[in-house]
Structure 1
Amino acid sequence: MPSSHSQFMWFFSVYSFLFLYLRMHQTNNARFLDLLWRHVLSVCLVTAALLVSYSRPISEFFLIRDTSLIPNILWFEYTVTRAEARNRQRKLGTKLQ
């Protein structure tokens, strides 16, 4: 399941893409620059959505997470690491018996 960031970016880019091409009608006498900025903006929107979608697995692979809501990151990391070490030690102890 894609992340909420990816879902929102794809919704936004598809909605903007459809708005640019369906709601903003092109006339026969449209200038080249008017047509060009629509195509450039569409490509930028799809590229942004692809980058957000791709950045989610990259962040997960490198274990990057948002820790801005944790007031003391060092204490948090210490307690999580100690709890993980205890759990592994406990599992190792039960396997040896």
Structure 2
Amino acid sequence: MSPNETRSLISLSLTNVEFDSSDPIAYAFAYITLSPLAILVAYTTTIIARREVVSINMFIGQLACEILNAVLKKWLKEKRPIDKLGDGYGMPSSHAQFIAYFTTFSILYLYTRITFSRNLWKFPITLSMIILLISVSYSRIHLNYHTSKQVLVGNIFGASFALIWFILTEYILRSFGMFKLIVESPLAKFFYLRDCSCIPNIIKIEYMNWEALSSKQKKK
């Protein structure tokens, strides 16, 4: 490349969100719309710290849902309401599809696999997740990154994919012993992978185990 030639450069700005600085609501939504990035960090942290196969399964489904979104955008080729905002096409909204998958899968797992001493705790958790879903989805409309239709379609595809993925993995593959086969493999044992979905009130049991070990340490 000669010294006189110029290169075409692009920027990688994962946290770059443009909004009207005079709009205080837009300022708040600029942070809310970054929630998928925080969720990705949570996925990584949870997988490393907990070693639960369900977290890995949910994350794989999330990635598959993102691939589906990219394919749909290439196929539909619908522009964003403002071309200069965001990269690529706008239909369906990847943020809306991401958060819809995350919320739907989480709620399904919450009500079918997790038990608390008081299951009333499930209601505020579910409500919080739905509020997050609505907030992230609306933020894409308010900030003019997507139209209402693009966000709605993203929500539909995300929720539908989560439902299909949940049934396929948590019911069909689990019934065939796939999860048991995974956790009993030498590789899974090497990385201490586990499947606690069949254990009721795992939080209480883990606390009791910690309490017992802590008492033994104190006696020493």
Matched, 1:36 2:120: yes
Matched, 1:53 2:53: no
Matched residue, 2:106: 16
TM-score normalized with structure 2 length? 0.23
User: Distance between the aligned counterparts of 1:41 and 1:18, measured in 2?
Assistant: 12
TM-score normalized with structure 1 length? 0.50
Post-superposition offset of 1:35? 1.4
Q: Percent identity?
A: 36
Post-superposition offset of 1:2? 3.6
How do residues 59-78 of structure 1 correspond to structure 2 at under 5 angstroms? 59-60=143-144
User: Distance between the aligned counterparts of 2:143 and 2:121, measured in 1?
Assistant: 32
User: Distance between the aligned counterparts of 2:131 and 2:144, measured in 1?
Assistant: 20
Which of the pair has the greater relative contact order for Cα pairs under 8 Å at 6+ separation? 1
Q: Which amino acid aligns with 2:141?
A: P
Partner deviation per Cα, 1:39-90 (whole Å, 9 max, x = no partner): 11111111101111111110008xxxxxxxxxxxxxxxxxxxxxxxxxxxxx
Post-superposition offset of 1:6? 1.1
- Alpha-carbon RMSD across the aligned residues, in angstroms, is 1.9
Matched residue, 2:157: none
Q: Which amino acid aligns with 2:126?
A: S
Runs of 4+ in 1 over 4 A off after TM superposition: none
Post-superposition offset of 1:37? 1.7
Post-superposition offset of 1:22? 0.9
Q: Which amino acid aligns with 1:15?
A: F
User: Distance between the aligned counterparts of 1:15 and 1:22, measured in 2?
Assistant: 11
Structure number with greater Rg is: 1
User: Distance between the aligned counterparts of 1:37 and 1:2, measured in 2?
Assistant: 33
Gaps of 5+ in 2: 1-90, 146-220
Matched residue, 1:90: none
Q: Which amino acid aligns with 2:132?
A: A
Number of equivalenced pairs: 55
